[in-house]
Amino acid sequence: MERTNLAAKSPEQAIPTHSGDNLEFQVETANETAQSEVSEAFSGKLTPTKVLSLQRTIGNRAVTRIMREKAGVIQRERTVLTGSQGNTVLKLQQKLNKLGMATPALAEDGIFGPKTLAAVLAFQKARKLVEDGIVGKKTWAELKGDEGSKDASGSAQNAAAAAAASSPADAVSGTAAASGATNLPKESAPTVKSAPPEVGESAPKETKPESPASKPTFKQQFEKELDSIKLDMAAITKLVNEASPAERQTVWSDATLMTKAFDEMTNDDYLTIVTKLRMFQVGTTAEDNKTHTSATDADKDIRDKLSAYVAGAVKAGRQIEGMVGVVGDSDWDRAGEAHYGHDVWFNGPPPKDPKKDLINGFVDSKDRVWIHKDRGNAGTMIHEGLHKYASDKILNDWNFDMNEGITEYFTRKIGKSLPTPIARGNYQEQLDVIEPLSNVVGEAVMAGAYFDGKLDEMKKKYLEFRKGKGDDEAAQEQSWKDFLKDMDKERYAAALRRIS
């Protein structure tokens, strides 16, 4: 539901109404000569001659826009990352394919999934960029630099920045803006001395509708809320809910701003906002050297592969997207300490066994899911996601090991059926009991217990099995109790004997 609403609400997708955006459109649609001139001009040293030539070709304001973008004032392409969708992602996929960053080539579907992420990471690694999987200003610059000439060097950017600050192009007339590319003289002997008429010094410094200050960005609004005297969590939540994934990323990826949020909010409010921001720190998972599966993909995998079992859960609105934070050390500790308490999290029961080092992810008491960016494997998100779809009855009425074993059973089932299968060794001991148990009671019955809380039916199947082994009613009941107790006490071999 969130996903479909986002596109409409995202300011980036709004129909441009002011001249700045119209001009940007003109640059985009300018003829090929203009396009190649632009990339050429920015590939080398940006000289005044080149600036003038560009102004003639595509117009003053358009040049100013490009310069600002180059100088980092305007980000022309949206920042995109895992979970992003739309034309910008499509553009990204086309560029990555052109550069051969994915084998086989990426599906150009405008959806930023794990494969696009892998290609981005490969590209960032090849270009010695920060390998964070986030396609922001620097990665875009590098991607675009490849289209024209190879060297979109820093000096060109600096020149552009300086030019943007001092060039007369900053003061443009409305007519030049309106006329755009086509009306400007093209090959009329550009010299440094004579500025083209539309760059007249007399042109009034007019307001710049494209200025970032004119409409506060989501990030600015978010920060403004943090600065207000009385923190309004409802307003912040509304703001976050209405933001696009890329906008949210501008906030969660800013460590300083997040620290400020942590300082301003209660612990609990902060943690909820982290999940609502869809924090997804890109790391390298220790067990398989991959990145975590996105929450969107985990939802999709669970619903696709277990469609026979999760109808009730889906109907009840269960999902992991928007409920999970993939976090680094500081937020891992914030979430873990809040849920497990300081001592268990940092020290653990004797002999010193800190919880923080033992687990890859967990669901907290507020139903928020936490995954450490560098721990676990590509299946961790699916495992934690399944906990979200599950009824909590197995954990509450039976025990932790039954719950984890069955969660792992379905995690493996999904992982095995994916195009790129996920190998896991997690909760192997529990699973070694749950797998034969699923044969005893039947997978569908086990799913009914796990997802829909139909515990009695599963117990009944167990009793029937014991009956077949010659147990009378009292013995059947006792065997079930003992089985659960064996699981709870981690006597897996004993539990296994009862179902053999």
Residue ranges binding Zn ion (CB under 5 A): 404, 407
**119 or 402: CB nearest Zn ion:** 402
> What span, in angstroms and rounded, lies between the C-alpha atoms of 345 and 206?
58
**221 or 407: CB nearest Zn ion:** 407
Do residues 448 and 457 lie in contact, with contact meaning Cβ atoms separated by under 8 Å? yes
| Smallest gap from residue 317 Cβ to Zn ion (A) | 21
Question: How many helices and strands, by DSSP H and E, does the chain display?
Answer: 28, 3
- Six token digits for residue 101: 């960053």
> Which one, of 33, 30, 96, 41, lies nearest residue 70 by Cα?
41
**210 or 404: CB nearest Zn ion:** 404
| Smallest gap from residue 500 Cβ to Zn ion (A) | 26
| Smallest gap from residue 406 Cβ to Zn ion (A) | 10
| Smallest gap from residue 288 Cβ to Zn ion (A) | 17
| Smallest gap from residue 384 Cβ to Zn ion (A) | 7
**37 or 404: CB nearest Zn ion:** 404
DSSP-derived 3-state class of residue 481? helix
| Smallest gap from residue 450 Cβ to Zn ion (A) | 12
**170 or 404: CB nearest Zn ion:** 404
DSSP-derived 3-state class of residue 371? strand
| Smallest gap from residue 359 Cβ to Zn ion (A) | 8
Q: Percent helix, strand, coil in the chain (nearest 5)? A: 60, 5, 40
- Six token digits for residue 212: 């970032």
**139 or 380: CB nearest Zn ion:** 380
DSSP 235-277: HHHHHHHHS-HHHHHHHHT-HHHHHHHHHHS-HHHHHHHHHHT
> What span, in angstroms and rounded, lies between the C-alpha atoms of 388 and 132?
27
Q: How many CA atoms lie within 13 A of 363 on its CB side?
A: 22
- Six token digits for residue 245: 């994934």
DSSP-derived 3-state class of residue 122? helix
| Smallest gap from residue 400 Cβ to Zn ion (A) | 9
**297 or 404: CB nearest Zn ion:** 404
Do residues 273 and 240 lie in contact, with contact meaning Cβ atoms separated by under 8 Å? yes
**119 or 363: CB nearest Zn ion:** 363
Neighbours of 68 (CB within 10 A): 22
β-strand partners of 135: 80
> Which one, of 388, 391, 389, lies nearest residue 364 by Cα?
388
**350 or 425: CB nearest Zn ion:** 425
**134 or 433: CB nearest Zn ion:** 433
**46 or 371: CB nearest Zn ion:** 371
**198 or 404: CB nearest Zn ion:** 404
| Smallest gap from residue 383 Cβ to Zn ion (A) | 5
| Smallest gap from residue 18 Cβ to Zn ion (A) | 51
Report residue 384 CA to chain centroid gap: 16
> What span, in angstroms and rounded, lies between the C-alpha atoms of 96 and 114?
14
> What span, in angstroms and rounded, lies between the C-alpha atoms of 387 and 362?
9
| Smallest gap from residue 386 Cβ to Zn ion (A) | 8
> Which one, of 372, 402, 374, 403, lies nearest residue 388 by Cα?
403
What is the longest distance spanned by two Cα atoms in the chain?
Answer: 105
> What span, in angstroms and rounded, lies between the C-alpha atoms of 221 and 151?
36
Residues recorded for the chain: 500
| Smallest gap from residue 310 Cβ to Zn ion (A) | 17
> What span, in angstroms and rounded, lies between the C-alpha atoms of 318 and 302?
11
**124 or 407: CB nearest Zn ion:** 407
| Smallest gap from residue 431 Cβ to Zn ion (A) | 12
* Whether residue 104 has a cis bond before it, omega within 30° of 0: yes
Neighbours of 115 (CB within 10 A): 18
Q: What are 344-353's contacts with CB under 8 Å, separation 24+? A: none
